[in-house]
Amino acid sequence: MTATKCGDPIFNIMRARGLPLTRETYLNLNFMGRPPAVLHPEMEQELPEELREPDDIPDPATEFDRLLFVLMQE
9-55 pLDDT tens trace: 999 999 999 999 999 999 999 999 999 988 888 998 888 888 888 76
Supply the pTM of this predicted model. 0.62
For residues 42 and 9, give the distance between their C-alpha atoms in angstroms, rounded to a whole number: 18
Q: Range of 58's domain? A: 9-73
pLDDT of residue 25: 92
- In angstroms, the CA 60 to CA 55 distance is 15
Contact 37, 57 (CB under 8 A): no
* pLDDT value at 3 more than 60: no
pLDDT at 61: 66
**Residue 61: inside a domain:** yes
Which is nearest to 48 in space by CA: 18, 9, 20? 9
Domain count, the chain: 1
Residue 3 forms part of a structural domain: no
Does residue 17 sit within a domain?
Answer: yes
